[in-house]
Chain A
Amino acid sequence: MADSRDVKNQILFSLLFTASLLHSALSDFPFLSPYSWSCVNETCVKNLKGWNEEDAYSLSTCKLTCGQHGVLWPKPTRLTQISNQTVHFNLSRLSLEEAMAPTQEVKDLLQKAFDIFKGNVAKGVPEPDERFFRKIFDSDEEKQQVFVKIRVSNTGKATTLRLNTNEAYVLNVKTNETNSLTNVTIDASTFFGARHALETLSQLIEYDAAKGSLQIVSQVAVVDKPAFRYRGILLDTASNFISVRAIERTLDAMAANKLNTLHWHITDTASFPLYLKSLPDMSYFGSYSQRQIYNTSDVSHVVEYARVRGIRVVPEFSAPGHVGNGWQWTEKKGLGKMAVCVKQEPWSTYCTEPPCGQLNIANNNTYGILTQIYEEMADIFAPLDLFHFGGQEVNLNCWNTTEEIVSHLTERGLNQSVDSFLDLWSEFQSNVYNMFPADNQTGKVQGILWNSQLTSAEKADKYLDPRKYIIQASGSVKDQRVIGDLLKKGYHVILSNSDAWFLNCGFGSWVTKGQHPCGSYKGWQAVYDNSPHDVASNETGSYQKKLLLGGEAVLWSQQVDDASLDAKLWPRGAALAERLWTNPKHNWEPAEIRFIHQRQRLFQRGVMADRIQPEWCHQNEKLCYLR
């Protein structure tokens, strides 16, 4: 101890200039903080420590080791054992010692995932504050090594995430104090399980402000696998443009929470920001500006950025509803009108929100253009696992008041009844499904559709083949049966109920006075407590574990763009993540402490996650309790 103090004095002497910046706080008080923490009944309790006390047990050390699950988020599902000791180490001595994998491709992915992991750990180390000195390393800490070994089993050749990909992993941390070595071993069936393990490992490491160095829990065993296969977030980049940088940030945060699907709602009536080589007119007429366009390279960058973080990108091309801007050029080129009811007034008669617009399904040229769009999308979003065909909010009145479509009906000897229009729509749907090209790697791509008139209990059998489509259900489970009928009919289902998982609600209507139709803001507690199994069980009497693929939080972006994206998605997206990965039996209350910490972690990694409590509650665990 005397040695290190001498070193400190020398440095003090040599940095006189910096020392002059030292505030009197330090001359008055010997420690950065008058508090220390101890773990009592799985809770970190704050104590006043004596001014001469040498052994500071800092908050981060306590958080890492206190409670059965420490600060792991989402909570592992099978086994978690965490010792109550940490060892300090220097970032430069954290290394990937071994990566065993069946192919070089998987090995490369593992190396990338490790680099990302190490980058995340580095983000935990704060910038030095010129007002304070950081403590100097003890010499044995300087020697401490952390070796990571990853083994992916021989069958794990997968490099793209599919619905049947095994995401499980086993993680062990063992520290040998005699040779200052911490061995981390990761075993997984696929790359995707292995990268989740690295994510867990990053949550076993924290910066210790009192010591000025990183620390890792010394002994750990975790066995983990997700409860649901599909754990998604919807990003709408059409109502307002969202930059590639912000999408990257979203993917970073998703990866930190082991979410695995980015549903990219890339076009809508309001704008068409996707650049298509085969149809440049679409974005020329349809984007908000020349700067608000996703080029081909942007898209492939996002897909790759997601893939190495264990995330699949599911592109959505909305049709036949939610189509308008971007299609203005077709008439002039002699292809006829392809979008109808665009900007028709009053909008409330022709669509659910302005601006209106739907595809002209009576125009045969529309299919030609759609083929081009699908082919290019399949190409730039490759490798594709799933494709979202949209199918949401089709306004039959729009078609019913469009002469071209009505006469098309008459020509075919159909009347103007609701059923005729639904027939026409389903015909459109099966046409575009057949048009959609197969993926080179993955074969025929499975489709996703929003729930709609076509998916209703009476019609679904007639119109949609459960082997071809997964249905994403968005109604409010408080008012209606949302997934029960679909499950009974054998459809695979993704739950996105608006009463819990619509994260855009609560900011008021954007066209008129009063509140948005989806009601109030969904607090993280409501997001956490929304259990797909409970919904299925209420509506069908069983959990439907086979058919219920998972869930997705939805962020429609009418009132969101780069400026507010992070604060609206996070940390609530993390609450969704634990529901879908862990699917705990308990409600949000036992998760609160870890949840607050997960928010801190997201913030550390550069995500502008919103606060959910005063910091006081983070430092005084369990004192902000329910009355």
Chain B
Amino acid sequence: MRVLAAAAALIVAAVSAQDFYRLSSPYSYTCLDNFCVRQLRTEVPSYRSQAECQLTCGEYGSLLPHPTGKVELSKEGVHFNPEHFQVTKMAVPDQQVSKMLEEAVRYTKRNLHFLHPEFPSQFKTPYTEKEKVQYVRENPRQFIRQSTKFNQETPQEQTQEPEPDQTELYESWERFSPFLSEKYSPRINRHKVNMEITVNNPVNKLRLDTDESYQIDVKTTGDDTLVTIQAPTFFGARHALETFTQMIAFDESNNALMIIKDASVTDSPKFKYRGFMLDTSRNFYPKEDLMRLIDTMAHNKMNYFQWHITDAASYPMYSEHRPEMAYYGAYSSRKVYYPEDIKEIVEYARLRGISVVPEISGPAQNNAGWQWGEKNGKGRLVLCAGEKPWFEHVKEPVDGHLNPVNPEVYNILGEIYKDVVEYFDPDMMHVGGDGVSFKCWQNSNDIKEYLAANALESNSEQMFKLWNIYQNNAYTKLTEAAGPERKVTPIIHSSSFVRNYINKDNYIVQVNEPSSDPAAAQYVKDGYKVIFANLDQWRVDCLDSSWYGEKSEKCPLETPTWRNFYENSPLDNLQSIPNIRDGQTPESQALKNNVLGGIVSLYSSETDGNGLDTKAWPRVSAMAERLWSDPAKSPQGFDTKLKRLNVHRERMVARGTKANPLQPGICLLDESSCYSKEEYAARSANIPQTP
């Protein structure tokens, strides 16, 4: 007690001294009811930094999405310099996985350096090999340091080449790291964070059946912290590295990193498909924007990037079989994705545990890029491309449908599909299926002639049949493009066409209907595999959506907030199916398995790289926790999701994503200062007031 008092007196003395402004902050933090409460340093017996409090306070600390298995976090943290983090042991099944892991570790290390608030934000750009190579070429001498090569245990025979010398180059971003010039006390400088990673399975491309589970243990003895990661696949290990970075924070009190002293977490996702759909046609996104999106998805343990690469407005994908498409269809010669760009993005995603699902829409939403057909003797490839006011047929500009009765359309489609399969190496491909206007077809001469020639009526039944002709042909072309070795499963938007014409075994259905709509339950009952995309809850681009005069019909009247993103729950939306949540019966389990997951949509009418981050994050992080953790409703007023989202948002910003703040800074500094009325009521009812 006397020691405590003395310490307190010392602090007071220090504070009252004239130079007290050198202290970084006059506050200390205490974990109270899962929240970090701010107090004046002079009023508490021992100092505790905000970083330490936030890492360890509450059941999940600052982990997001929260783990689904065991979570044990000690209440203390230890300081270290990120230069002293290294992998000391890697047990992997083959060279390929080893390379991927090395890359993931380098990326993790970079994210740790980014935590320093003085890391210049303009250099937090997507991490590409090119950047490194270019830098090394320019500065061959300056940035050489001692290698920290870890010993590698591979069951295969040693294929490792002997190192020419025991040095390696500093990575390009490293020269900006303020950690390299920080001075630390010997205790911090001595501290090492060593990591051992074990992966059993050689799988190196994420598919729907890939095991993404992992276990991570952190144990500190003396000056050493040992982090052990065990995962069946690279993909689980990568998620473990993500969790690892979330056990670390920057501590303002001494400008070092802090890691939770001891921790043990086992984790696996509740849903297999945790997707992000981005439309790069209505507005173009430079490659770096897509890479940043992929990075941010990885920070949220999302795993499918659905790339809506083309649409009626522009055709930015360069196809080697059909270069005309981009020549006529891209916004400009600079706004094109070349094959090497696409392959680079697909590889970039793979290393972050993400597979890319290309989306080539049809039969609607086609216009830009198809203009060359008639001039080159291929007939009209698209119909309704600008002959009539767009609103006669479709819900928003730009109008245009593929011509289902022109066989050239399918030949070209087949060629494009071939390129798509080559560039993306996908396991699924989205084939569109929304926005089809029968009126467009019915008004066009090509269709009128076709109907007349075949003595068919111009009614909706015939139009459905036309659509079916299109879809069957497209399916055949896709199967041909995939070849005998590979299976590419098409994903299609839900519609009455799907319900009546689409074989449940061949397709996956993306359900866009509002969360309250019974359509999803019907698909599941009928045995379809579904991905939830409820556009009333999980769409990020609808802020105003009046770009052609009035609010788009697809946009909800009220912009969904992060709470909508969090609370929309696929299994809750399927409540009409007995036992769907617990899957207790074999039938309900089988149906539950068909619920693949969910996806957020960003149609880019009013968005490009400038607004992307702000609109998407951290709202999509809330959805990411829904899909990874599928949390049950927490008792009102006691959950930590908002405070974890706040911390996670800061973390994303630190890594270079321009995520929007959800609350004023004071709500992060003092987590007890911004509660809602409901939280206040719940807390005052449950917590005995201390006099």
Chain A residues near B (Cβ < 8 Å):
23-25, 28-29, 32-34, 48, 126, 129, 131-132, 209, 239-241, 269-271, 280, 284-285, 288-292, 325, 328, 343, 345-348, 354-355, 506-515, 520-525, 557-564, 566-568, 603, 608-617, 619-620, 623-627
The listed residue (A34, A285, A616) touching B282 by CB distance below 8 A is: A616
Which 9 A-B pairs give the minimum distances between C-beta atoms? Answer: A508-B561, A626-B549, A512-B676, A614-B282, A563-B658, A523-B544, A270-B666, A239-B664, A564-B614
Cβ-defined contact, B662 with A510, below 8 A: yes
The listed residue (B320, B368, B558) touching A616 by CB distance below 8 A is: B368
Q: Counting CB contacts under 8 A, is B156 at the interface?
A: no
Name the residue on A nearest B392 (C-beta): A627
Residues in A with CB closer than 8 Å to B483 are none
The CA-CA distance from A520 to B611 in the complex, in Å, is 18
The CA-CA distance from A525 to B558 in the complex, in Å, is 18
Closest CB-CB distance, B544 to chain A, in whole Å? 4
Task: Given the known inter-chain contacts A506-B544, A513-B563, please indicate yes or no for A627 contacting B549, CB distance below 8 A.
Answer: yes
Closest CB-CB distance, A1 to chain B, in whole Å? 22
Chain B residues near A (Cβ < 8 Å):
21, 24-26, 40, 117-118, 252, 282-284, 313-314, 318, 320, 323, 326-328, 331-336, 338, 368, 371, 386, 389-391, 397-398, 543-544, 546-550, 558-559, 561-563, 604-608, 610-611, 613-615, 653, 657-667, 669-670, 673-678, 680
Cβ-defined contact, A34 with B40, below 8 A: no
Cβ-defined contact, A617 with B397, below 8 A: yes
Beyond the given A240-B664, A325-B666, A522-B544, please list 14 additional residue pairs across the A-B interface where CB-CB is below 8 A: A131-B333, A347-B680, A354-B674, A355-B674, A506-B543, A515-B561, A521-B559, A558-B663, A567-B615, A613-B606, A614-B397, A614-B604, A616-B314, A616-B397
The CA-CA distance from A285 to B368 in the complex, in Å, is 58
The CA-CA distance from A184 to B431 in the complex, in Å, is 55
Cβ-defined contact, B333 with A613, below 8 A: no
Residues in A with CB closer than 8 Å to B24 are 289-290
Closest CB-CB distance, A481 to chain B, in whole Å? 27
The count of A-to-B residue pairs whose CB atoms sit within 8 angstroms is: 216
Residues in B with CB closer than 8 Å to A617 are 397, 547
Name the residue on B nearest A292 (C-beta): B665
Name the residue on B nearest A332 (C-beta): B42
The CA-CA distance from A28 to B663 in the complex, in Å, is 53
The listed residue (A126, A239, A567) touching B611 by CB distance below 8 A is: A567
The CA-CA distance from A614 to B670 in the complex, in Å, is 42
The contact sample of 18 A-B pairs, CB cut-off 8 A, is A25-B327, A29-B327, A271-B665, A288-B669, A289-B25, A289-B117, A325-B666, A328-B26, A328-B40, A506-B543, A507-B660, A512-B677, A521-B544, A558-B663, A561-B661, A611-B607, A613-B606, A615-B283
Name the residue on A nearest B122 (C-beta): A245
Cβ-defined contact, A25 with B662, below 8 A: no
Name the residue on A nearest B608 (C-beta): A611
Task: Given the known inter-chain contacts A28-B327, A290-B25, please indicate yes or no for A508 contacting B562, CB distance below 8 A.
Answer: yes
Residues in B with CB closer than 8 Å to A241 are 665
Cβ-defined contact, A34 with B665, below 8 A: no
Cβ-defined contact, A29 with B662, below 8 A: no
Task: Given the known inter-chain contacts A239-B664, A610-B607, A611-B604, please indicate yes or no for A289 contacting B21, CB distance below 8 A.
Answer: no
Residues in A with CB closer than 8 Å to B610 are 566-567, 603, 608-611
Name the residue in B117, B547, B559, B666 with the highest tally of chain A Cβ atoms < 10 Å from its Cβ. Answer: B666
Residues in B with CB closer than 8 Å to A562 are 658
Cβ-defined contact, B548 with A610, below 8 A: no
Cβ-defined contact, B665 with A239, below 8 A: yes
The CA-CA distance from A616 to B313 in the complex, in Å, is 6
Name the residue in B26, B323, B338, B397 with the highest tally of chain A Cβ atoms < 10 Å from its Cβ. Answer: B397
The CA-CA distance from A225 to B562 in the complex, in Å, is 45
Name the residue in A347, A508, A521, A611 with the highest tally of chain B Cβ atoms < 10 Å from its Cβ. Answer: A611
Residues in B with CB closer than 8 Å to A627 are 389, 391, 548-550
Cβ-defined contact, B673 with A354, below 8 A: yes
Name the residue on A nearest B548 (C-beta): A624
The CA-CA distance from A355 to B664 in the complex, in Å, is 10
Cβ-defined contact, B323 with A28, below 8 A: yes
Cβ-defined contact, A346 with B677, below 8 A: yes
Task: Given the known inter-chain contacts A28-B323, A289-B24, A612-B547, please indicate yes or no for A348 contacting B677, CB distance below 8 A.
Answer: yes
Closest CB-CB distance, B62 to chain A, in whole Å? 17
Residues in A with CB closer than 8 Å to B389 are 625, 627
Closest CB-CB distance, B128 to chain A, in whole Å? 15
Residues in A with CB closer than 8 Å to B548 are 613, 624-627
Name the residue on B nearest A59 (C-beta): B332
The CA-CA distance from A624 to B545 in the complex, in Å, is 13
Name the residue on B nearest A515 (C-beta): B558
Residues in A with CB closer than 8 Å to B398 are 614, 616, 620, 623
Closest CB-CB distance, A128 to chain B, in whole Å? 11
Name the residue on B nearest A132 (C-beta): B333
Closest CB-CB distance, B687 to chain A, in whole Å? 12
The CA-CA distance from A291 to B657 in the complex, in Å, is 20
Name the residue on A nearest B312 (C-beta): A616
Task: Given the known inter-chain contacts A289-B24, A623-B386, please indicate yes or no for A559 contacting B332, CB distance below 8 A.
Answer: no
Residues in B with CB closer than 8 Å to A292 are 665
Task: Given the known inter-chain contacts A515-B558, A611-B606, A613-B605, please indicate yes or no for A284 contacting B26, CB distance below 8 A.
Answer: yes
The CA-CA distance from A310 to B85 in the complex, in Å, is 51
Cβ-defined contact, B563 with A508, below 8 A: yes
Closest CB-CB distance, B125 to chain A, in whole Å? 15
Residues in B with CB closer than 8 Å to A560 are 660-661
Cβ-defined contact, A611 with B283, below 8 A: yes
Name the residue on A nearest B371 (C-beta): A48
Cβ-defined contact, A280 with B559, below 8 A: no
Residues in B with CB closer than 8 Å to A285 are 26
The CA-CA distance from A615 to B285 in the complex, in Å, is 11
Cβ-defined contact, B282 with A559, below 8 A: no
The CA-CA distance from A619 to B595 in the complex, in Å, is 42
The listed residue (B338, B558, B662) touching A23 by CB distance below 8 A is: B338
The listed residue (A568, A619, A624) touching B397 by CB distance below 8 A is: A624
Cβ-defined contact, B547 with A613, below 8 A: yes
Name the residue on B nearest A342 (C-beta): B673
Cβ-defined contact, A614 with B313, below 8 A: yes
Name the residue on A nearest B649 (C-beta): A563
Name the residue on B nearest A563 (C-beta): B658
Cβ-defined contact, B664 with A557, below 8 A: yes
Residues in B with CB closer than 8 Å to A515 are 558, 561
Residues in B with CB closer than 8 Å to A32 are 332-333
Name the residue on B nearest A288 (C-beta): B665
The CA-CA distance from A514 to B663 in the complex, in Å, is 14
The CA-CA distance from A28 to B613 in the complex, in Å, is 37
The CA-CA distance from A290 to B669 in the complex, in Å, is 13
Closest CB-CB distance, B563 to chain A, in whole Å? 6
Closest CB-CB distance, B555 to chain A, in whole Å? 11
Residues in B with CB closer than 8 Å to A347 are 680
Name the residue in A284, A510, A617 with the highest tally of chain B Cβ atoms < 10 Å from its Cβ. Answer: A510
